[in-house]
Amino acid sequence: MKQEIKVVPSVVNKHSLNVVKQDPLQKEPPAIDLNSSELYENRELSYLKFNLRVLDQARNPSNPLLERLIFLLIFSSNLDEFYEIRVAGLKKQLDFGRQRPGPDGLYPEHVLKDTHEQVRAALDEQYRILNEDLLPSLAREKIRFLHRHEWNENLNNWAREYFLSEVLPVISPLGLDPAHPFPRLVNKSLNFILSLEGKDAFGRDSGLAMVPAPRSLPRLIKAPEELVSDGDNFVFLSSIIHAHVEELFPGMSVLECHQFRVTRNSDLEMSQVEIEDVASALQGELHSRRFGAATRLEVGKECPEELTNFLLTRFNLMPDELFLLDGPVNLRRMIALTQMLGRPDLCFPKFSPGTPSALEEGNCIFASVDKEDQLLHHPFQSFIPIIDWVREAAKDPAVLSIKQTLYRTNESSELVEALADAARNGKEVTVVIELRARFDEEENINFASILQEAGAVVVYGVLGYKTHAKMLLFVRRDGKTLKRYAHLGTGNYHLKNSLIYTDYSLLTCEPVLCNDVHKVFQQITGMGKKIHPKLIIHAPFNLRKSLVKMIKNEKQFALEGEPAKIVAKLNALTDPAVIRELYAASQAGVQIELIVRGICCLKPGLPGVSENIRVISIVGRFLEHSRVYYFLNSAPQVYCASADWMERNLSNRIEVCFPILKKKLANRIINEMGIYLDDRTQSWELQSDGDYISYQPDNEKALAGVQALLLNKLA
């Protein structure tokens, strides 16, 4: 859905955030109930709209072909997590009779109904894109997925040999009868439901059986080049199993054989245990995640109603929770294809992240930060200097201690290795590891063990509050005094993600700011009354209050006829208190521009309420992840943060919002925000009815898009 629309001229001019002076006769805003449910978009439905914007990248011909396939698979992965967490939560409210309407006035049962309808339509479109667009386009590039009816005699023989040698030894067919009850199936595992005819050796004839696809085997197998030499040819494991499934039931006839997959509740719940028991309690919960309550059933579209009804009954699901798919039911496993092909011509061009000269390899990073604060914008600029800084600190005899938060990091973490080296070298190393970082829990437990064995002190944050702040603190002897250095970021300490997520990193030795970081660490690792940082704003204590205060400050300037402006770049905006204040500021004449990648429960352009609010979403090659807040009349004006404007971030997480104190760096962020706001290639504008409309590039410069412009500028 791409169309050109008329847009109210932006106040942004040449990548700046200049604003127009307000009418000095501006009166108090009209009395409108800003709590009215009509003013709020539903969170779940807004998320689905974001995922549709991701799916749109799969049909966008300006993206390279394999990247389009990846976007299609990301859409599947996002939907999986959505059903594992958000839909599971809604179903739980229904099960326990605890339905409560959200700010939008919708009850969970209504949200679920709308969700299933919209997802069903989206899945139809996803498989249409796959079958009618991507697969034919890949075939033209000699990348083919060979279905059973396309196999020649040689391929048939090869597939049979693969089945006998690789599949048969590990597969476990399951007849279904009173002695073989329906098994507990692992979350999102690929399975087959079969209808059989005949009796087995024991005289059983239940007529039903199941075959779980071995999870240890790849879902895609490359056909031997000597059999199919023209290009890259692949066969689905499901096709091989389907072709030879009768061999699992000798002497019986297979009447029907269809793929299916069940999605389960994967949200972990821990009782209030003592802090030293968090790791062991979490390990116990990780196993149960695989077998939570079912939330969705996906089945091949040819599966007869008799079998789908049987499965629905076994999983305790309703008919509207059944989704019939025109293709593989486990699409997300096709991501393995990207590692099996050598086709850079079908991918985004490779790039090398830039590195400021002061932070290049071989330079002393402590000395560089002593001279001036350093600001990095990932992935356009490298994350390696952050890891190098920890490595340097581990070897530097002047460094006495290192403190760090870890929410997510990559599998073989160079950062964890550097922290362990520092501990072995006698540094005081303290690491706050958030064990409950969703879907990274097991890995974080392993990292905790590695660090503890090296001699580091590991704590698991504060029970009931996820530690989501991104902080790194060094204490270094400088002559006769001790000096602090800090890294503060908007994203995780994850090298791989730093190449695909946009985030800001600040490296600083500003004394007051670093002392604030020290205080926050003390609060997390120790115990005591509420602290009062001088520059840092932190959740759950005062971030919401401070945001509301700064929004109200802009509102007051507007009422007095002065220029007033708010710009924020976020992943999500759902907090009702913040939305109400933005509405009130808009009514007073404050110009508000929001770059919200995903969920946005605010409705812009509502007469008398949000006419001065513009919301865009940027979706492209990189996942927009940085959180930046700009208030024209605040001092400082620019803040970066780990927190989105969501209830969970402002109330239930430990978050850090830090100011950009150096004018040069603040102006740089303001300039880069202006580039985002000027984008006409990757941006979607939110309408007052909740729909998003994409822009059409109107000239060659616009074709580049904000992410390409920043790559050219910084990488």
Higher pLDDT, 434 or 322: 322
Question: What's the rounded Cα separation, in Å, for the pair 102 and 485?
Answer: 43
Residue 349 region, left (φ>0) first, then alpha (ψ -120 to 50), else beta?
Answer: beta
Strand partners, 375: 506
Amino acid residing at 20: V
pLDDT of residue 302: 95
Together in a domain, 549 and 531: no
What DSSP string runs through 519-568? HHHHHHHS--SPP--SS-EEETTTHHHHHHHHHHHHHHHHHTT---EEEE
Give the mean pLDDT of 159-177: 93
Residue linked to tokens 């990207």: 338
| Of 685, 686, 680, residue with least CA distance to 706 | 680
Q: What is the DSSP letter of 658?
A: E
Give the mean pLDDT of 481-500: 95
Strand partners, 210: 174, 193
Together in a domain, 660 and 601: yes
Per-residue confidence band for 6, with pLDDT thresholds at 50, 70 and 90: very low
Number of neighbours of residue 464 by Cβ within 10 angstroms:
9
Selection from 1-10, 274-283, 353-362 with the highest mean pLDDT: 353-362
Together in a domain, 542 and 674: yes
Between strands 565-570 and 627-631, the pairing is antiparallel
Per-residue confidence band for 201, with pLDDT thresholds at 50, 70 and 90: low
15 pLDDT exceeds 60?
no
Q: Looking at the domain assignment, is residue 218 inside a domain?
A: yes
pLDDT of residue 271: 46
Together in a domain, 390 and 308: no
pLDDT of residue 199: 76
Q: Looking at the domain assignment, is residue 402 inside a domain?
A: yes
Q: Looking at the domain assignment, is residue 53 inside a domain?
A: no
Write out pLDDT tens, residues 76-110: 999 999 999 999 999 988 887 777 888 999 999 99
- Which range has the worst mean pLDDT, 16-30, 351-365, 432-446, 494-508? 16-30
Together in a domain, 531 and 565: no
pLDDT of residue 54: 97
Write out pLDDT tens, residues 411-467: 668 899 999 999 999 999 999 988 765 666 677 777 888 899 999 999 887 888 889
Together in a domain, 576 and 707: yes
29 pLDDT exceeds 70?
no
CATH number, position 622? 3.30.870.10
pLDDT of residue 4: 34
Reading the block at residue 323, the tokens are 């989704």
Q: Looking at the domain assignment, is residue 14 inside a domain?
A: no
Instruction: Kindly state the helix (H) or strand (E) to which residue 155 belongs, with its residue range.
Output: helix 153-162
Reading the block at residue 402, the tokens are 């290192």
Together in a domain, 335 and 373: no
Question: What's the rounded Cα separation, in Å, for the pair 153 and 227?
Answer: 10
Do 503 and 626 touch, CB atoms closer than 8 A? yes
| Coil, helix or strand at residue 682 | coil
Q: Looking at the domain assignment, is residue 521 inside a domain?
A: yes
Reading the block at residue 340, the tokens are 């099996």
pLDDT of residue 358: 94
Higher pLDDT, 695 or 286: 695
Give the mean pLDDT of 597-607: 97
Do 140 and 170 touch, CB atoms closer than 8 A? no
Do 223 and 340 touch, CB atoms closer than 8 A? no
Query: Residues of 293-306 as b/e, b for ≥16 C-beta within 10 angstroms?
Result: ebbbbbbbeebeee
Together in a domain, 545 and 530: no
Provide long-range contacts, Cβ within 8 A and 24+ apart, for 544-551: 544/575, 544/577, 544/578, 544/650, 544/651, 546/657, 547/578, 547/581, 547/629, 547/645, 547/650, 548/577, 548/578, 548/581, 550/629, 550/631, 550/634, 551/578, 551/581, 551/582, 551/584, 551/585, 551/590, 551/631
Amino acid residing at 490: T
Q: What is the pTM of this model?
A: 0.90
Give the mean pLDDT of 686-715: 85
Together in a domain, 494 and 546: no
Amino acid residing at 405: T
Together in a domain, 118 and 182: yes
Together in a domain, 109 and 181: yes
Question: What's the rounded Cα separation, in Å, for the pair 153 and 50?
Answer: 46
Higher pLDDT, 87 or 178: 87
Do 422 and 486 touch, CB atoms closer than 8 A? no
Residue linked to tokens 């599971």: 88
pLDDT of residue 449: 84
Q: Looking at the domain assignment, is residue 441 inside a domain?
A: yes
pLDDT of residue 285: 53
Q: Looking at the domain assignment, is residue 631 inside a domain?
A: yes
Together in a domain, 462 and 543: no
Q: What is the DSSP letter of 344?
A: G
11 pLDDT exceeds 50?
no
pLDDT of residue 2: 37
- Domain boundary (493, 508, 535) is at 535
Per-residue confidence band for 3, with pLDDT thresholds at 50, 70 and 90: very low
User: Does residue 319 have a cis bond before it (omega within 30 degrees)?
Assistant: no
Query: What's the per-residue H, E or C state across 365-377?
Result: HHHHHHHCCEEEE
Question: What's the rounded Cα separation, in Å, for the pair 588 and 231?
Answer: 63
Q: Looking at the domain assignment, is residue 527 inside a domain?
A: yes
CATH number, position 208? 3.30.1840.10
Mark out the alpha helices in 42-132 (DSSP H runs): 43-59, 65-81, 88-95, 108-129
- Residues contacting 321, CB < 8 A, separation 6+: 116, 294, 295, 296, 297, 312
13 pLDDT exceeds 50?
no
292 pLDDT exceeds 50?
yes
Reading the block at residue 150, the tokens are 């396309």
Query: Residues of 690-715 as b/e, b for ≥16 C-beta within 10 angstroms?
Result: eebbbbebeeeeeebbbbbbbbeebe
Number of neighbours of residue 14 by Cβ within 10 angstroms:
8
Reading the block at residue 214, the tokens are 């071995």
pLDDT of residue 437: 57
Residue 184 region, left (φ>0) first, then alpha (ψ -120 to 50), else beta?
Answer: beta
Amino acid residing at 677: L
| Of 714, 637, 705, 634, residue with least CA distance to 676 | 705
Q: What mean pLDDT is reported for the chain? A: 89
| Of 550, 549, 540, 505, residue with least CA distance to 520 | 540
Write out pLDDT tens, residues 155-164: 999 999 999 9
Q: What share of the chain is helix, strand, coil (3-state, %, to 5)?
A: 40, 20, 40
Q: Radius of gyration of the chain from Cα atoms? A: 28
Per-residue confidence band for 699, with pLDDT thresholds at 50, 70 and 90: low
Q: Catalytic amino acids?
A: 468
Write out pLDDT tens, residues 539-563: 999 999 999 999 999 999 999 999 9
pLDDT of residue 10: 34
Per-residue confidence band for 395, with pLDDT thresholds at 50, 70 and 90: very high
Side-chain-side CA neighbours of 252 within 13 Å: the count stands at: 26
Do 210 and 192 touch, CB atoms closer than 8 A? yes
Question: What's the rounded Cα separation, in Å, for the pair 281 and 66?
Answer: 41
Per-residue confidence band for 179, with pLDDT thresholds at 50, 70 and 90: low
Tally the domains of the chain.
3
Q: Supply the range of the domain harboring residue 166.
A: 95-272+293-345
Reading the block at residue 455, the tokens are 């001699």
Residue 136 region, left (φ>0) first, then alpha (ψ -120 to 50), else beta?
Answer: alpha
Strand partners, 126: none
Query: What's the per-residue H, E or C state across 141-189?
Result: CCEEECCHHHCCHHHHHHHHHHHHHHHCCCCCCEECECCECCCCCCCCC
Please report, to the nearest 10 degrees, the dihedral formed by the alpha carbons of residues 434, 437, 439, 445 taken in order. 0
Sheet holding 143-145, edge to edge: 143-145, 232-236, 220-222
